[in-house]
Structure 1
Amino acid sequence: MDSGSPQPPKGPAAGPSDPSIADWTDHYFLRTKATVARFGDATVTYAVFMRRPVVSAPRLALNWLSEVARQRGTEFKVDLIYPEGKWVGAGEPIMYITGSLVHLADLETILLMKLGPACVAAFNAFTMCADLPNVSFLAMDARHCAGLEMAEIMAYAASVGSARAKRKVGAKGFIGNATEATAHYFGQEHALGTMPHALIGYAGSTLRAAEMFHETFPGDPMTVLVDYFGREITDSLTVARRFPGLAAEGNLSVRLDTPGSRFVEGLDPTLSYAVLERHVPRTLRGYRSEQELRHLVGAGVTAAAIWYLREALNREGFQRVKIVGSSGFDPAKCKVMAESLAPVDVIGTGSFLPQRWTETYATADIIEYDGVKRVKIGREFLFRKADGDR
């Protein structure tokens, strides 16, 4: 199969093997396959597209298609119009696939499963990284995924969006992720992460959890959750005082994951406005939607909360202690953080996952039968363009 340089898939994203494809494909494709096999095969070309702008993330879909072609002893020719990482407009064919209709008819369902969600997640990851080019991102999406295959697709997509942001705006992008199985997508041998809230609860105090972690992993940088007891400022400073060496070396981070049901220690709406007035007064001058205001001065992990924590750390000489933000960092929240110049060093997020799942639906239409152009009325825009028209 000619599709660039796909490699045989590994892991859960490999998808159903040839014998089980029939169990997972739409039944009318199986009836089409049987009918065509009876009346005579045809060479067809599919145009594969999406109805919204995306970033092309076709590798897992093409890897699977290549493996199926190998198992069936056939060949599919893929004309990849938008290679991995390229911006794709709404309705623009991402690729054309040509081959036997008998062998392609039953593959559409699974192929589109692997393509559409990846392209939208890659788009989201790109916009987040591009809006905050000086922030490092950590993919924490696995717990929000519906199974192992989705987890692999989403990790792959985040790496594609991140790579585009690095190329286009010099962003730091995603530096790693939270699970070992997909760390390779981010150029890492191992997953990244230190402690969940459960370890804080087990230890009985934020400081004790930090001490236990450091004793268990003495050579590792440490990120400490500081919201468990609602003492984000107090516990951040307590941990920094306890580990001055790590703090001075830049190997200590504090992570804000404050829930939206309360404000960070020491803040309320009035004080949150005052914090932003001290640092980024212009951020509050224009029109703001209710959601944008919540990201700026509301409860939870807001721009004001991050600025407030940064003030407290700097006052005590802990300028090199990093701040990690998590909790609902989707493209909209990242945009507000960028506008408010929030001094966050790392963002842990799974919110590049598509929020409107209907936008992930990829579509494929046959546009040629044995070299003759033919498509349902209204889809003529899918016909191949002349090279000069692309």
Structure 2
Amino acid sequence: MSDTEAESDASIRARTDAYFNRTRAIVEKFGDAQVTYAVFLRRPVISAPRMAVDWLRAVAARRGTSISIEVLHEEGTWVGAGDPLLYLSGSFAQLSDLETLYLQKLGAPCVAAHNAYQMALELPNATFLAMEARHCAGAEMQDMMGYAASVGSRAAQKEGAKGFIGNANDFTAHWFGQPKGFGTMPHALIGYAGSTVRAAEMFHEAFPDENLTVLVDYFGREITDALAVCHRFSDLAKAGRMSFRLDTHGGRFLEGLDPAESYAVLERHAPGAVRRYRSETELRHLVGTGVSAAAIWRMREALDEAGFPAVKIVASSGFGVGKCRVMHEAKAPVDVVGTGSFIPEIWNETYATADIVEYDGAARVKIGREFLLRHARARQKKDGGGQ
């Protein structure tokens, strides 16, 4: 990696916490030591250490120092709360000012990867498209979240889920093994075109070889407009090259639905989903406004009844872990989920922590963190325990 501004000592010093900079100065004045840090999170996660590890290696190479990085859990594996993800060993002077920045690159990806993993497992037969970019605070976060979704997805795929097949932008498409991002049209194009059918015509004329995915909620006529597009492009619809994206906002029901009809739809297809106790949030996901399980089932009914069973349904709008779980219980016939809701919702859960556990080979850590010591980990592993 090149010696860019982002990797320079001046940049590191400017962005790191002042007490770490002062620690480095003190250690350089009074004598260096060889130390080992244990790095951990306080909640269960999926290990996603690559960005932090790559950054540490790049800084070490530029500084001409040696940092031993022991990754304790392979990328994509589950990690318990408080269980160290990394042991970092090397010069105290060289490591002390790096803590702020490598923690930034570790915690959020691990939590986001765990979210993506759970989402994919909750809907194992649906494919997912990562649509997180617009919710990210800049390019670095965008890269971290794309990486995290790919790690969580691969972990879920090992357990039989289809997982994330790509994302919505070119910048992070490589994390999913894709040359570019996926996507067809935003609501703005439909407003520009003046009708859903005309927007579909414009897209098809501009990109004739692309499969056609059409938003159908702009005018509040999801079913009417979807069927109109099917009839306009019946060859694409019958060939399975057409999808409709449901993105109905939470202020209204899908066309033709209300609370009573939403319950009736689920009674026809997944009665068990609404006959058990549900929280208010779960009920909204099942029979409420927006993209509910009832809305997805009603769209599937309408397409099948009109003779378009090969047309797929793409669902978006708030598909986090909880909503994916409810959709699975309702057996919602969703083919693709577009979501950025793997981004951590409770940001303080992403805070990674590092503690020195060895000074010049002697085990030492602050009271209450003894579980981070190497001998404590070895004993825990022998006993088969975990935090």
Deviation of 1:18 (Å): 3.2
Aligned partners of 2:327, 2:176: CA distance in 1, in Å?
24
* 1:347-358 alignment runs, 5 A limit: 347-358=337-348
For residue 123 of structure 1, the aligned residue among 110, 114, 118 is 114
TM-score by length of 1: 0.96
1:5 aligns with none
The C-alpha deviation readout for 1:16-45, integer Å capped at 9, x for no partner, is: 433310000000000000000000000000
Deviation of 1:285 (Å): 1.2
Aligned partners of 1:241, 1:24: CA distance in 2, in Å?
57
Deviation of 1:15 (Å): 4.9
Instruction: Give secondary structure in 2 for the equivalent of 1:376.
Output: coil
Contact 2:52/2:102 (CA < 8 Å) preserved in 1? yes
- 1:47 maps to 2:38: yes
* 1:178-197 alignment runs, 5 A limit: 178-197=168-187
Aligned partners of 1:201, 1:18: CA distance in 2, in Å?
50
2:105 aligns with 114
Aligned residue-pair number: 380
For residue 327 of structure 1, the aligned residue among 314, 317, 338 is 317
Aligned partners of 2:305, 2:77: CA distance in 1, in Å?
44
Amino acid at match of 1:175: I
The percentage of counterpart residues that share the same residue type is: 64
For residue 205 of structure 2, the aligned residue among 215, 220, 241 is 215
Cα gap change, 1:350 to 1:34, in 2 (>3 Å): same
- 1:232 maps to 2:225: no
Aligned partners of 1:16, 1:273: CA distance in 2, in Å?
57
Contact 1:18/1:71 (CA < 8 Å) preserved in 2? no
Moved over 4 A (4+): 8-11
Amino acid at match of 1:73: G
Structure 2 residue runs of 5 or longer lacking an equivalent are none
Contact 1:9/1:60 (CA < 8 Å) preserved in 2? no
1:265 aligns with 255
The C-alpha deviation readout for 1:123-146, integer Å capped at 9, x for no partner, is: 000000011111000000000001
Amino acid at match of 1:28: Y
Amino acid at match of 1:96: Y
The C-alpha deviation readout for 1:233-262, integer Å capped at 9, x for no partner, is: 000100011111111111100000000000
TM-score by length of 2: 0.96
Deviation of 1:10 (Å): 12
The C-alpha deviation readout for 1:84-125, integer Å capped at 9, x for no partner, is: 101000000011000000000000000000000000000000
Instruction: Give secondary structure in 2 for the equivalent of 1:57.
Output: coil
Deviation of 1:389 (Å): 5.0
2:155 aligns with 164
Cα gap change, 1:9 to 1:83, in 2 (>3 Å): farther
CA RMSD of aligned residues (A): 1.4
Deviation of 1:9 (Å): 8.9
Amino acid at match of 1:195: M
Contact 2:126/2:336 (CA < 8 Å) preserved in 1? yes
1:149 aligns with 140
Contact 2:24/2:96 (CA < 8 Å) preserved in 1? yes
2:365 aligns with 375
Amino acid at match of 1:359: E
2:26 aligns with 35
Aligned partners of 2:55, 2:2: CA distance in 1, in Å?
6
Instruction: Give secondary structure in 2 for the equivalent of 1:92.
Output: coil
1:246 aligns with 236
